[in-house]
Structure 1
Amino acid sequence: MRNRFNAQLEMLDAQTLVMGTSIEDAVTQSVDMLEDPREDILERVIEGDDDIDRQEREIESLCLKLLLMQQPVASDLRHVSAVLKIAGDMERIGDQAANIAEIVRADSWAPAQGLKDSMVALGRRSQHMVHAAMEAYAEDDLTKARLVVAHDQKVNDSFKNAREKIVTEIRCQKGPVPMLVDALMIAKYFERIGDHSKNICNWLEYKLEGIYKEKRI
């Protein structure tokens, strides 16, 4: 019985890592769209989001099956519960990457070079957080997880810088207002991707140590 349960936990982790690869691809492609807003990239992100949604449902189904049928206790319960939460954060990352790609279209995305560079830099920071969070999960590495949590402040700072530039351009009428508003939405989506990456690492700490946001629960 225990061997079967361990095999199911391994399957759960494997599915989570596959989903992690999918969200990394989605975020990478959404940043690529900022630099080169091609329809083929947009289509890949949108199609990928449907697949990410499917993967979340499969992980959720397996988690609920383990909780209801195996009735895990202690560390096993934390493991399954954490993955259930992590899958939710990963699904939101996929949604936000798709939202960015939907906004950035070849016929409307034409920011000034300085703003474009700021947005790409913000996107790459968020992309790094997603990759580092999934690497920490794959290795059950708390040190790497805590570095991701700390790195979130840099993403927040980058978001504030981008927001200030966008607001300044709106006030000075340096670009089409709808496009600048879209840029502000994109910046917020990237900031939220950073938040969800941080959440993944907080839940990893709960899985391993029973601590969530520095509180033992």
Structure 2
Amino acid sequence: MGVRVNFENNLEELKSKITEMGELSVVALERAFKALKTQDVEIALKVIEGDTAIDNLEMDVNQFTVWIMAKEAPVSRDLREIIGILKISSEIERVADFAVNIAKATIKIGNTESLLGITNLEKMKDVSIDMLRKALQSFLEENILLAKEVGDLEDEVDQYSGQTYKTLTTYLSEHPEQTNQLVQLLFVNRFLERTADHVTNIAESTAYLMKGQIYDFNS
């Protein structure tokens, strides 16, 4: 097997691990929000337990990329691709951490009348997951138009986040007896807003990988 073919095969294996991490993170976000919406502690606990698999995959990616860099000594675009994969795996792991944080917020809220309906949190979750899927597709297909679309969608999440923050803080001033749940929902609002930020970072890393220049889709 030629050196180039071997390198390409190693990259495909790394991309496969990135895809698996991404799919597991989507599932984690969906389950975490389902737990929040239904106030199901059992589902929340499963989200927390499942985070280990994503952490292990990130460790595999890190170790494999270090091995490739030592063995192949990649330069130019090959090096950019390796660095891009390292950055993307780190961002996906952070997204999974936010899913865990949402699950923990659900447990802290406990069994009480849900105030989720006064927020835009479900819309934020839906857009964030759409962003993550598009970012991963952009990475796998090297599609810069999809990467830019991710950046545009982040603006939507930011708008929902601002509206939700205002709604929750106003409600909190009028209903201090609901402080525990409202504070946790404010945390969830922040977790989802940060999720969108990290997904946008994935899109920016993909763009860098393809074009060799830094992109800021947050501006």
TM-score (norm 1): 0.92
Q: What is the aligned counterpart of 2:140 among 138, 141, 145?
A: 138
Query: Secondary structure of the equivalent of 2:74?
Result: coil
Q: What is the aligned counterpart of 1:65 among 46, 50, 67?
A: 67
* 2:88 alignment partner in structure 1: 86
Instruction: Report how far residue 113 of structure 1 moved.
Output: 5.3
In structure 2, list runs of 5 or more residues that go unmatched. none
- For 2:142 and 2:99, locate their aligned partners in 1 and report how far apart those are by CA, in whole Å: 25
Instruction: Report how far residue 44 of structure 1 moved.
Output: 2.5
Pairwise mapping of residues 1-217 of structure 1 onto structure 2 (< 5 A)? 1-105=3-107, 107-108=110-111, 110-112=113-115, 114-115=117-118, 117-173=119-175, 175-213=177-215
Aligned residues of 1:33 and 1:41 also touching (Cα < 8 A): yes
- Residue 20 of structure 1 aligns to which amino acid in structure 2? G
- For 2:167 and 2:129, locate their aligned partners in 1 and report how far apart those are by CA, in whole Å: 21
Q: How far does the alpha carbon of each residue in 1:31-50 deviate from its partner, in whole angstroms, 9 at most, with x for none?
A: 21222122332132112211
Aligned residues of 1:169 and 1:175 also touching (Cα < 8 A): no
Structure 1 window deviating more from structure 2 (119-128 vs 52-61): it is 119-128
- Residue 197 of structure 2 aligns to which amino acid in structure 1? D
Aligned residues of 2:41 and 2:106 also touching (Cα < 8 A): no
Query: Secondary structure of the equivalent of 2:113?
Result: coil
CA RMSD of aligned residues (A): 1.8
In structure 1, list runs of 5 or more residues that go unmatched. none
TM-score (norm 2): 0.92
Structure 1 window deviating more from structure 2 (190-199 vs 23-32): it is 23-32
Instruction: Report how far residue 182 of structure 1 moved.
Output: 0.7
Moved over 4 A (4+): none
Count of residues in correspondence between the two structures = 214
Instruction: Report how far residue 95 of structure 1 moved.
Output: 0.5
